[in-house]
Amino acid sequence: MYSLSEEPLITRPQIDERLKELAESIKAENFDMFLSTLTGGFMFTADLCRNIASSKLEIEFIRASSYGDRTETSGDVEISGFEGLNIQGKKVLLIDDILDTGNTMSKMKKTLLALGPREIKTCVFLDKKGRREVDFEADFVGFTIENEFVVGYGLDYANMFRSYPEIWTVRETDGK
Ligand code: IMP
Ligand code: MG
């Protein structure tokens, strides 16, 4: 069982304002490609694209999964979708929803670096700094949050709440 916070942790106006600032700094770097991580990164990536609107920007997706149906990570990260991806010589922005233990982002970045890009930078919408297990910092961060499980804006709890347009907090209540 779970319960959802009564108010959003991060509201839509706060997200929209931060998106504009982020888009401005990202645009200045002239990336060739946004490489977005499914499923959680889809809404953030779409909003970033809308705020950047560059004719030459390529958009690609890979998939990473580490969570089961609960709020604790399983630790093993499965990454797929690299087949046929051409990032050779390109400046790539790797995008994900949230940086938690850091395992997912650091594994994805390592795998991508082996494919010969000119440069890889990373961008996450949320950063739970207090949960890091591997040494990893993103180049662009939307918001830094406390160690709470959050949903909405692409992020899920057991595949629920992804379509909520703002960020909410979820607590597991263990059958109560
Ligand atoms: P990491 O490998 O521990 O950094 O975990 C990153 C992945 O775990 C993210 O891409 C999310 O899919 C998922 N995740 C971590 N924290 C949360 C959360 O609070 N809500 C929803 N998903 C989360
Ligand atoms: Mg994810």
Digit-coded pLDDT (tens) for 105-131 = 999 999 999 999 999 999 999 999 999
Digit-coded pLDDT (tens) for 17-50 = 999 999 999 999 999 999 999 999 999 999 999 9
Tokens of 42: 């889809």
DSSP 24-62: HHHHTT--SEEEEEETTTHHHHHHHHHHH--TT-EEEEE
Q: Please name the residues in contact with 150: beta carbons below 8 A apart, sequence gap of 6 or more.
A: 9, 98, 126, 167, 168, 169, 170
Report, as residue numbers or ranges, the catalytic residues.
100
- Any ligand 1 atom below 6 A from CB of 127: no
What pLDDT, on the 0 to 100 scale, is given for residue 72?
66
Q: Which domains can be identified in the chain, with CATH numbers?
A: 12-146 (3.40.50.2020)
Digit-coded pLDDT (tens) for 141-174 = 999 999 999 999 999 999 999 999 999 999 888 7
Mutating to test ligand 1, I would choose from 43, 66, 153, 163 the residue with most ligand atoms within 8 A of its C-beta, which is 66
